[in-house]
Amino acid sequence: MNNGYFITGTDTDAGKTWATIALMHYFKQQGKSVAGMKPVAAGCRLRCGQLQNDDALLMQQHASIPVDYRLINPYAYELPVSPHLAGRHDPVDMHAVLAGFKQLKALADIVLVEGAGGWYAPVNRQEDVSDLAKMLALPVIIVVAIRLGCINHAKLTYRAVQHSRLHCAGWIAACVDADMLMREETIQTIATALDTPLLGILPYLERADFHRLAEQLAGL
Contacts by residues 121-127 (CB-CB < 8 Å, ≥ 24 positions apart): 121/12, 121/82, 121/83, 122/82, 122/83, 122/84, 123/39, 123/40, 123/75, 123/83, 123/84, 123/87, 123/92, 124/83, 124/84, 124/87, 124/91, 124/92, 125/84, 125/88, 125/91, 127/92, 127/94
- Of 16, 38, 105, 155, catalytic: 38
Among 140, 128, 204, residue whose Cα is nearest residue 6: 140
How far is 154 from 146, CA to CA, in rounded Å?
Answer: 9
Please give the Cα distance from 114 to 8 (Å, whole number): 6
Neighbours of 153 (CB within 10 A): 19
Residue 79: strand, helix, or coil: coil
Q: Does the active-site annotation cover 16?
A: no
Q: Cα separation of 146 and 175, whole Å?
A: 5
Q: Which residues are catalytic?
A: 38
